Structure 1
Amino acid sequence: MARFNQRGTRPAVHSPVTTTGERTVTHEGATGHLRDAKSELFLLSVSNFVGQDAFYEKGGDRDDRYTQLVRQLAVEDPEWTAGLLGWLRGEGNMRTAALVGAAEFVKARLDADRGESGLGNQMAIEQQDAGYNRRVIDAVLRRPDEPGEMLGYWTSKYGRRLPKPVKRGIADAVQRLYSERSLLKYDTDSKGYRFGDVLNLVHAAPAPGKPWQGDLFQHALDRRHGNADEIPSSLKTLIARQGLTSLSVEGRREMLRMPDTLHNAAMTWEALAGWLQGPMDEAAWEAIIPSMGVMALARNLRNFDEAGVSDEVAAQVCARFADPEQVAKSRMFPFRWWAAYKHAPSLRWAHALEQALGHSLANVPRLKGSTLILVDRSPSMFPGYGFSTPNQSDITLAEQAAVFGSALALRAAQPTLVEFGGSSKEIDVPKGGSVLKLIEKYGQNDGTDIPSAIKQHFDLLRHNRIIIVTDEQTRPGWLPSNMERFGGMRETAIDDLAPQTVPVYMWNMAGYKPGAMPSGAAGRHTFGGLTDAAFRLVPLLEAGRDCDWPWLTKTA
C-alpha cells in the first residue's frame, strides 16, 4: 500500500512569518507561540501607530520593542531590514513606523561601526559601504513634510549632530519631494523644521532636470529668514498664490467662480477656508472639490452634505471613488472607506464608497470550496478596551477585522462567517451582498476564545480552510473531556481541533508578541497588516507555492 504517493498528497509549503518552537502564554492565559525576530518585527511594524497604546501593551513598551527589533536586525541582516522599511512606507502604507525604523536602523549600524551596539556582529561593519543607511532614509521619505519629520525625530532623540548618511538620504528625498505646491502646503509656521531649515542642515542641491528647483530652494531659505521680498519668475505657482492673497475679501468670493485659477495657485481646501475669511458654503466647496485628492474627498463627505453640495458635483466625486486607478493612487487603507460610509449623513455616496472599498480590497481572493471565517469581536478589539486613535479615524480593530472578514465572505464560494469572542454566532452572508452593509451586522462579544469558536463551527467534512481575523490573544478555550490525552494541559491547541490537512490562516491585527498557533509550515500560516496585500498569498500557498516576504514575493 502506498504511504506517500496518494491522491490527496499535497506539497509542503512555507510562509514567512515563522514560530521558533518556543512556548509562552497569550495575554489571556492560553499557550502562546514565540516567533523569530523577523516575524515579530514584521507583524508589529504593519500594525504599530507609533506612540499609541494597545489593549495589552502600553505605547512606550510597544515602541521600545519595535526599535529594539529594528536595531538588532539592522546589524544582523541589513538587506532584509532595509527591504522591510522601504516596503512598509510604500505598499504597507505605515508612515511613522517606517520613519522611526529608518532612523533606528541607521543609528544601530553607526553604533555597530563604533563598537557601541553590544551585538558583536562584524558583518554590519563590513557592509557599511553598501550604502544601506543613505538609501533607507531616502526610501521612507515619501511626503514633502517627512524630511522635517525625520529631522525632528533624530534631533529630539540623538541631538543636532547629523551623520552623513542621514544628511544625504534626506537631501536625496528633498530633490524628489520639494516643489512649489509642497512648499505652499507644508512649509508652515507650525513646523519646527521649515523647508529652509531642512535645506540649511542637509545642503541639498537642486535635482538635475529641475531648473526651477534652485530658485525654489533659495526662496524657501529667504522665506524662512523673513526676507523673501520678490518671488523668482520661474516659480509661477507661488506667483499665482501671491496674486490671490493680494485680493480684497470681497474679491476672493468672486474667485470661487474660477476653480481653475484656484487650482493653478495650489489652493487646498484647508488654505481656502482661511483665505476666504468666511464660511465654507456650497460655492466654496464646489469651487475646491475639483482640486481635492481622493482621501480629502472621502474625509469631507459630511461637510459636503451640510453645505448642500449639489447632486451634480456629488456625482463627480462618486465617479472618482469608482475609479480603481484613483483609489489605488490614494493609498487609503480599506477601513477608511468604511469610515467615510459610517460618517456620511447622505446615502448618495454609498454605492461609490462600496465600489471604492472593493477596489481597495482587490487582493482578497475568490476562494473555492468552503471557508470558515472567524472574526474577533472581543473587548480588546474595541475603543475603551482596545485602542482608537486619530490615525485610525476612530475605526476600531474590530471594525477593521470586519472589513476583511466581510470581503472574504462575500467573495468565497461557500462561506461560513462567524463573529466570536467568549461565545460565537454565525452571520448570514447574502449572495451578491454589500461589504458595507454586512459590516453593520456585527455585534460585540466578551472575551477571546479561538479554540471554542473552531470547536463549535468547524466541520471537517465541509470546510476546506479556516481564516481567523484576530489579535490572537485567546483564552485557553474549550477543554476536552479526555484531559489525560493532552497531558493535563488547560487548553486544546488549534491542531487538536483541525487537522493539518486543513490550512489555517491567522490574520494578526495588533502585532502582539505571543501567537495563538505555530506558523510558517504544516498548513499553519500567519499574516498581518492593515491593507489587503497579504491576502494574495492564500491562493499561492494553496497552489503549492512557497511564499516569501511581500517585498520579495513574485505573484505573477
Structure 2
Amino acid sequence: MSRFNTRTTKASATSPVTTTGRGTTNHQGGTGFLRDSRSELFLLAVTNMVGQDTFYEQADQRDDRYQQLVRQLAVEDPEWTARLLAWLRGDGNLRTAAIVGAAEFVKARLDADVDSTAATEHLRGINRNVIASVLQRPDEPGEFVAYWTSRYGRNLPKPVKRGIADAVQRLYNGKALLKYDTAGKGYRFGDILNLVHASPAADKPWQGDLFKYALDRRHHPDAAVPPVSNRTLTAHRALMAVPVEERRAIVTGEGGAERLAAAAVTWEQLAGWLQGPMDAQAWEAVIPSMGYTALLRNLRNFDQAGVPDEVAEQIATRLADPEQVAKSRQLPMRFYSAFNAAPSLRWAWALERALTASLANIPALDGRTLILVDTSGSMESGFSKDGTLMRWDAAALFGIALGYRCAQADVVSFSAANRWQDRQFELVKAFPLNRGGSVLAEVKRWKEGGWFLGGGTDTAGALRATFAGHDRVVIVTDEQAMAGSDVDQAVPASVPMYTWNLAGYRTGHAPSGARHRHTFGGLTDQAFRMIPLLEAGSNAGWPWERERDAK
C-alpha cells in the first residue's frame, strides 16, 4: 500500500517567514516558536507603528527591538535589509518605520566600518541608496534629519548627506515648498539645504532659484521674494497679498477654484488665509485641488459644512477610482476609519469600492476555508494614534474580506472560555457572512454585534472546536497563545494552515516556512497572494522578490 504516492498528496512549498526549530515561552506563558532574524524583523517592520505601545510591549521596548534587528542585519545581510526598507516605504505603505530603519541601517554600517574593504566593493553606495529609497515625500528629508540628530547629533556623515541630497533633487519643487516648508517644522527646507549642500538636479535647472528662495525664506523671511520663473510661487505670493476683506469674494467668485489651485493653496492654508469659517463655498473652491488623502480625512468636515450632493459625487468618484487608490498608498484600515468618522452614508459606497481596490491582492480561493479571527484581550491594543482603531478591527476587516473571496468560508471569532472580572468569555463565535454585503458594513456589524470576545487566547481549542475537514485554515492573530494551546497539532499536518500576524511579536504560535505551515504579516493585502502560489506547489519569496517556481 502506498504511503506517500497517493492522489491526495500535496506538494509542500516553502515561504520566507521561518522558525528556527527552537522554542521559548511567549507573552501568555505558552509555547513560542523562535523565528530567524530576518523573519522576526520582517513581521515587526510591517506591523510597527513607531512610538506606540502594544498589549505586550511598551513603545520603547518595541522600537529598541526593531532598531537592534535592523542594525544586526544591516551588517550581516545588507542587501536583503536594503530591499526590505525600500519595499516598506513603497508597497508596504509604512513611512516612519522605513525612515527609522534607514537611519539605523546606515549608522550600524558606519559604526562597524564594513564598507572599507575589498569584500564590500559591490556594496558601494548602499548607505546613500537606502536613505534615498525611503524618502518619498518632500517633508521626509526633514523627518530623517530630525530623527538622526535626536539620536546621533548634528554631524551628518557623507553617505547621509548624499542620500538626502538625492531625495531633495527628486522631491523639492514650488508646490512642495508651499505645502511642507512651514514654520512649525524644526527643520525647514533651507535647513536641509544648508546641511546637505544639495545641488540642483541636472535636468532641473530651475531648482537653483528654488533653493535660493528656500534659504531666504528660512533666514530672511521678510525680504524673501519668489523667483519670477516659478508660476506657483508667484501666484501664491500674489494671493497672500490680497486684503483680508477681499479674500472671500475671490474664493466664491468665478475662477476662484482655479486661482487657489494655481497658487497651490491647501485647505489648511485656506482656513487661515480667509480668517473666517470654512463654509460650503470655501470647501467647494478648494476641493478640486485637494489630494486624495486630504479628501479622505475631511469627509466629516464636508458634511458638517453642508457641501452639496453634486460636489460630494465628484469627491466620491475620486475616492472610488482604483488608480487613485493605488497611487494614494492608503492602508485598508484608513477607509474603515473614514467610514466610521463620516456622519453621512453618501460616502459609504465610494469607501467600499476604495477598500475593495486596496484589497485587490486577496485571492479567490476554491474549496472550504476556515478563517479564525483573534479577538482575545491582547488584540485590544491601539492600532491608530487616536486610539479609535484596535488590532482586532484590522483582524476582523482582513478576515471578512478574505471570507468574501472564498467559494465557501466559515468566519469565526475566537478567544478562550474563561472568566475575568466577573465576565464569561466564549471560546468561539461564528460570524455568518451576508453574501453580497459590504465589507465595511460587515465589520461594523461585527463590532456592534458582540463578536469581540476578549479574554485569553486558546488558538488550539478554537481550531479543534471549528475545524471540520476544511481545505485550509487562515488565522488572523498576534500569535500569543496560552499555555497548553498546541496550535500546530490542532489540525491535520496535511491541511495548509496560514497565520496572518498583526503584531510582530518575537515568537510565533506554530512552526512556519514549510510543510503546510506558513506565516505572513502586514497591514496591506500584499502577502495574501502567496496562498494560491503555495497551494500550487511553488515556493513563495519575500514580497519584493519575484515568485519562484518550486522544482
Shared fold by TM > 0.5? yes
What corresponds to 1:517 in structure 2?
510
User: Residue type of the partner of 1:475?
Assistant: M
Any conservation in 1 of the 2:539–2:548 contact (CA below 8 Å)? no
**1:358 match: secondary structure:** helix
Deviation at 1:402, TM superposition (A): 1.1
Q: Does 1:111 align with 2:111?
A: yes
Q: Does 1:527 align with 2:520?
A: yes
Any conservation in 2 of the 1:16–1:547 contact (CA below 8 Å)? yes
Deviation at 1:553, TM superposition (A): 3.0
Structure 2: how far apart are the matches of 1:171 and 1:434?
46
2:428 to 424, 427, 437: 424
What corresponds to 2:419 in structure 1?
none
Q: How does 1:218-367 map to 2 (within 5 A)?
A: 218-226=212-220, 228-256=223-251, 257=253, 258-367=256-365
Q: How does 1:160-171 map to 2 (within 5 A)?
A: 160-171=154-165
Q: How does 1:41-80 map to 2 (within 5 A)?
A: 41-80=41-80
1:548 to 537, 541, 544: 541
* Distance change >3 Å, CA 247–CA 412, structure 1 → 2: same
Deviates more, 1:314-323 or 1:34-43: 314-323
Structure 1: how far apart are the matches of 2:373 and 2:438?
17
**2:445 match: secondary structure:** coil
What corresponds to 2:479 in structure 1?
472
Q: Does 1:196 align with 2:190?
A: yes
What corresponds to 1:35 in structure 2?
35
Q: Can you give the 5+ residue segments of structure 2 that lack an aligned partner in the other structure?
A: 417-426
Any conservation in 1 of the 2:213–2:224 contact (CA below 8 Å)? no
Cα deviations by residue, 1:266-293 (Å, 9 ceiling, x for unpaired): 0111111111100011001111111111
**1:166 match: secondary structure:** helix
What corresponds to 2:465 in structure 1?
456
Cα deviations by residue, 1:208-238 (Å, 9 ceiling, x for unpaired): 2212111100110111111543221111101
**2:457 match: secondary structure:** coil
What corresponds to 1:398 in structure 2?
392
User: Residue type of the partner of 1:243?
Assistant: A
Any conservation in 2 of the 1:76–1:124 contact (CA below 8 Å)? no
Any conservation in 2 of the 1:75–1:124 contact (CA below 8 Å)? no
* Distance change >3 Å, CA 128–CA 394, structure 1 → 2: farther
**1:501 match: secondary structure:** coil
Deviates more, 1:181-190 or 1:106-115: 106-115
Structure 1: how far apart are the matches of 2:182 and 2:294?
19
* Distance change >3 Å, CA 532–CA 202, structure 1 → 2: same
* Distance change >3 Å, CA 124–CA 132, structure 1 → 2: farther
User: Residue type of the partner of 1:171?
Assistant: A
**2:212 match: secondary structure:** helix
What corresponds to 1:118 in structure 2?
none
**1:53 match: secondary structure:** coil
Structure 1: how far apart are the matches of 2:384 and 2:442?
24
Q: Give TM-score, length-normalised by structure 1.
A: 0.93
**1:441 match: secondary structure:** helix
Q: How does 1:500-515 map to 2 (within 5 A)?
A: 500-515=493-508
Q: Give TM-score, length-normalised by structure 2.
A: 0.94
Deviation at 1:128, TM superposition (A): 7.6
Structure 2: how far apart are the matches of 1:377 and 1:371?
19
User: Residue type of the partner of 2:525?
Assistant: D
Deviation at 1:388, TM superposition (A): 4.2
Any conservation in 2 of the 1:470–1:507 contact (CA below 8 Å)? yes
* Distance change >3 Å, CA 13–CA 504, structure 1 → 2: same
Q: Deviation above 6 Å: which 4+ runs of structure 1?
A: 122-125
What corresponds to 1:375 in structure 2?
373
* Distance change >3 Å, CA 164–CA 280, structure 1 → 2: same
**2:498 match: secondary structure:** strand
User: Residue type of the partner of 2:499?
Assistant: M
Structure 2: how far apart are the matches of 1:245 and 1:393?
37
What corresponds to 2:420 in structure 1?
none
User: Residue type of the partner of 1:441?
Assistant: R
**2:53 match: secondary structure:** coil
Q: How does 1:79-228 map to 2 (within 5 A)?
A: 79-113=79-113, 126-127=120-121, 129-226=123-220, 228=223
| Count, aligned residues | 530
Structure 2: how far apart are the matches of 1:64 and 1:313?
47
Deviation at 1:496, TM superposition (A): 2.0
Deviates more, 1:372-381 or 1:196-205: 372-381
**1:413 match: secondary structure:** strand
**1:189 match: secondary structure:** coil
User: Residue type of the partner of 1:458?
Assistant: F
1:387 to 382, 385, 389: 382
Deviation at 1:252, TM superposition (A): 1.0
Structure 2: how far apart are the matches of 1:124 and 1:379?
52
Identity of aligned residues (%): 60
Structure 2: how far apart are the matches of 1:60 and 1:273?
37
Structure 2: how far apart are the matches of 1:350 and 1:358?
12
Cα deviations by residue, 1:305-341 (Å, 9 ceiling, x for unpaired): 1100000000001111221001111111001101111
Q: Can you give the 5+ residue segments of structure 1 that lack an aligned partner in the other structure?
A: 116-121, 477-490
Structure 2: how far apart are the matches of 1:187 and 1:253?
25
Any conservation in 1 of the 2:541–2:548 contact (CA below 8 Å)? no
Any conservation in 1 of the 2:382–2:389 contact (CA below 8 Å)? no
What corresponds to 2:441 in structure 1?
437
Structure 2: how far apart are the matches of 1:381 and 1:285?
38
**2:365 match: secondary structure:** coil
